[in-house]
Amino acid sequence: MAEELLAATDIHTFYGRSHVLRGVSLSLGRGETVSLLGRNGMGKTTLINSILGLVPHSSGAVVYEGHDISAVPTHEIARRGIAYVPEGRGIFPNLSVKENLLVAARPGPTGRLDWTFDRVMSTFPKLKLRLGNGGDQLSGGEQQMLSIARALLTNPDLLILDEATEGLAPLIAQEIWKVIDIIKETKISTLIVDKNLKAMGKISDRAVILVKGEIVFDGSMRELFSRSQDLNNWLGV
């Protein structure tokens, strides 16, 4: 595997008395694109939130670039180079598209500046037409583009996309997949949650599957697709 960027080890997370993550380990190499799969309610978002410190984990370690970030506040984790496009997108509804982008823009933690405002404009031509619009005046697809564009402008080393194309029309979803392909070329590591197994298969180096808060598969896409019976059990596809 490529040089390790992120390693979550034996993570346990509870909501009250509900034991949601039951010893999850997940690692990501530098420049790697990994799909995080699982049916609804299996713990994908909880795992992401546990990694980012948005939900406390009760045990286990999260190591990013060789440092344990378990006790590091979320905003500081972001500053160290992890960008998050959450389910529901989290854009500022009362700021314009341009403002949403400009508040995010900064060089990466090591000074890298691959993603500039101009590059984002040429990658997302639809946003360019909407710069003066409020965040709340965008279609779902435009909101998702904005959320991804904003994440890229922080020049992250790792981009986490939860439900990347959820609720988007197929043509719009296709545009998002194309953008993820471009992101991949700029050597950003990506952790993607989505239901579209076919699209993920094309784009990912590896897949990790969660069932009821436990990892049941961690391997190549090729191996995953060769296990059709298991796929059916794990994902219902």
Ligand X SMILES: Nc1ncnc2c1ncn2[C@@H]1O[C@H](COP(=O)(O)OP(=O)(O)O)[C@@H](O)[C@H]1O
Residue nearest to Mg ion (CB): 45
52-59: long-range contacts (C-beta < 8 A, 24 or more apart)?
52/77, 52/82, 52/84, 52/160, 53/77, 55/13, 55/15, 56/13, 57/11, 57/12, 57/13, 57/21, 58/12, 58/13, 58/14, 59/10, 59/11, 59/12
Give the pair of three-digit tokens for residue 156: 């992250």
Which residue, 44 or 130, is less far from ligand X as judged by CB? 44
Helix (H, G, I), strand (E, B) or coil at 191: strand
One residue of 40, 94, 110, 229 binding ligand X per CB under 6 A = 40
Stretches 39-47, 94-102, 138-146, 218-226: which one binds ligand X (CB under 6 A)?
39-47
Query: Which of 8, 43, 154, 199 touches ligand X by CB under 6 A?
Result: 43
Which of residues 62 and 164 has its CB atom nearest to Mg ion in the complex?
A: 164
CA torsion through residues 188, 191, 196, 201, sign = positive
Query: Which residues between 19 and 48 bind Mg ion (CB under 5 A)?
Result: 44-45
Q: Which is nearer to ligand X, 159 or 209 (CB)?
A: 209
DSSP-derived letter for residue 111 is S
CB of 235 to ligand X, least distance (A): 11
Interaction between residue 144 and Mg ion (CB under 5 A): no
The DSSP call for residue 136 is G
**From Mg ion, ligand X, none, which one binds at residue 46 (CB under 5 to 8 Å depending on kind)?**
ligand X
- Is the Cβ of residue 33 or residue 46 nearer to ligand X in the bound state? 46
Which of ligand X, Mg ion, none does residue 40 bind (CB under 5 to 8 Å by kind)?
A: ligand X
* 3-state secondary structure at position 64: strand
CA 62/CA 41 separation, integer angstroms: 22
* CA angle centred on 151, ends 145 and 156, rounded to 5°: 140
Does position 41 interact with ligand X (CB under 6 A)? The reply is: yes
Say how many residues touch ligand X, by CB under 6 A: 11
Name the residues that contact Mg ion, by CB under 5 A.
44-45
